[in-house]
Amino acid sequence: MNPFNRLSLGFSPCPNDTFIFDAMVNGSIDTSPLSFDVYLEDVQTLNEWALNGKLDLTKISYGVYPLLKDKYRLLESGGALGSGVGPLLIARSAIPPEDVPRLRIAIPGKNTTAHLLFSMAFPEANQKTFMLFSDVEQAVLNGSADAGVIIHENRFTYQSKGLHKLIDLGEFWEQQLNCPIPLGGIVAKRTLPPGLVANIEKLIESSIVHAWKRYPELSSFIREHSQEMSEEVMRSHINLYVNDYSKALGEAGHRAVDQLVSTFEQLNSR
């Protein structure tokens, strides 16, 4: 067997990722001769694995991409990027933006896009605690953090828990840089042949097209990994994070990623 015919693939259990990869990893589209060993993990774990070169193909936060460029290449398809999709900074009560730098902030992972966008907006904030994205909301509620950066499904649930939005970090990015927000991308090891990588990009795009044809049906694969979300939240997740940029980054998408890399370099040169 060709050593590249069986590949390790990592993505998160969030509905946007399971929606994207469902058909590709569960036999609804023809992927022959390729097959995939699938790992579903939170994005911070995937970021750490990517830094160690563990998987052939993996979802990452764009915030860690500048540290991976020599080891992994960015795929054209499968990622999350767009307008109005960014992380939110929330707290138990309304707090003026000028007070944020002195607060204890819960951040969903060190090498995440959420952390990069927060650092861009509040470069002087240094009381940060890094944790799983799913723990941030509770840290704010129980007072172990004064404020927190939320992503994924927490964007749709924080208000029902009495929490307040202090700033939309995605809006801040868009206003400052006038480009879409790169949240998470799919990367492939640079040791994989370019022709194989191009084929994988086409398979991911086909998997997305297949999923949209079935939508609004939610497959058992999406449901079983949805972490007890309501159907409304699952659909909101998919509608927000799976878009034309997921099928192909295109020129605008690549410009946004280049801008993020530049922003990362500027923040880390201080």
Q: What is the DSSP string of 204-265?
A: HHHHHHHHHHHTT---HHHHHTSTT--HHHHHHHHHHH-SHHHH--HHHHHHHHHHHHHHHH
Cβ partners under 8 Å of residue 98, min gap 6: none
Catalytic residue (one of 115, 152, 225, 254)? 152
Report whether 114 belongs to an annotated binding site: yes
186 is in an annotated binding site: no
69 is in an annotated binding site: no
Catalytic residue status for 210 = no
> How far is CA 241 from each of CA 72, 91, 193, 209, rounded to the nearest angstrom?
23, 24, 29, 15
Strand 105-107 to strand 147-150: parallel, antiparallel, or no bridges (unpaired)? parallel
Task: Provide the 10 A C-beta neighbour count for residue 178.
Answer: 10
Residue 68 and residue 60 in contact, taking contact as beta carbons nearer than 8 Å: yes
For residues 138 and 136, give the distance between their C-alpha atoms in angstroms, rounded to a whole number: 5
Task: Return the active site residues.
Answer: 152
- Annotated binding-site residues read 59-61, 113-114
Binding residues for substrate: 59-61, 113-114
